[in-house]
């Protein structure tokens, strides 16, 4: 459960559903298959590679197990994508190649970490899933799909802006000292928990909001 980051995994799967709901026709089977592919690639594969690269979550999973999880899960996602490319549209083959490259380059911080940036996070985990969800159902790229993808990019950028300082506070900060003085004379003692709490609440609320919105949009098209 620690490795999968359930709220974040659900958040990014919601982008897939939003893209699918924006398509002229939403195919139930295609949506389920796309969600499954992203669950394996992003939910399992990406997080396994991220933990392998430096063990930021400090789980007890061995490097061998993490690599095995990543290889198997990403292979499953690729298999789903290949079937889609054969039966639906060749566009999916392009997305498979790009998706695998993004997962590996981002989470292993290849090329000196050039892809491990705020912008690439928003593109890879926000815009990309939404665009794939749209194209798998629409079988082409049109402006509604692009607009939804840009919206998901913005949401993912907001997620990154909130999660980065939280991770720094929770994982790398040993102490936080100082006071905040309000204009009415009130003094607030700063602490790691106190500074992190509103950011974590914003992340949890955003995660729930995005997932519930995606469920509502899919239900309206179902």
How do the domains of the chain map onto residue ranges?
6-221
Give the span between the Cα atoms of 78 and 123, in whole angstroms: 20
| Percent of residues in the chain assigned helix, strand, coil, to nearest 5 | 75, 5, 20
Single pTM value for the model: 0.91
pLDDT in tens, 93-132: 999 999 999 999 998 988 888 888 999 999 999 999 999 9
- Cβ atoms of 49 and 166 closer than 8 Å: no
pLDDT tens string 62-84: 999 999 999 999 999 999 999 99
């Amino acid at each position: 459960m620690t490795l999968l980051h359930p709220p974040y995994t659900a958040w990014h799967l919601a982008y897939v559903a939003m893209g699918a709901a924006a398509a002229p026709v939403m195919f139930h089977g295609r949506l389920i298959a796309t969600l499954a592919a992203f669950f394996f690639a992003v939910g399992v594969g990406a997080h396994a590679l991220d933990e392998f690269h430096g063990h930021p979550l400090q789980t007890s999973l061995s490097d061998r197990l993490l690599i095995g999880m990543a290889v198997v899960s990403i292979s499953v996602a690729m298999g789903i994508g290949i079937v889609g490319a054969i039966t639906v549209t060749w566009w999916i083959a392009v997305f498979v190649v790009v998706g695998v490259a993004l997962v590996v380059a981002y989470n292993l911080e290849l090329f000196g970490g050039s892809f491990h940036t705020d912008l690439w996070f928003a593109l890879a985990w926000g815009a990309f899933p939404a665009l794939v969800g749209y194209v798998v159902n629409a079988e082409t790229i049109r402006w509604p799909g692009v607009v939804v993808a840009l919206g998901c990019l913005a949401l993912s950028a907001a997620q990154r802006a909130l999660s980065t300082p939280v991770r720094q506070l929770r994982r790398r900060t040993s102490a936080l000292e100082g006071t905040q003085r309000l204009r009415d004379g009130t003094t607030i003692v700063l602490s790691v928990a106190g500074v992190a709490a509103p950011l974590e609440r914003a992340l949890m609320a955003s995660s729930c909001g995005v997932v519930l919105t995606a469920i509502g949009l899919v239900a309206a098209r179902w």
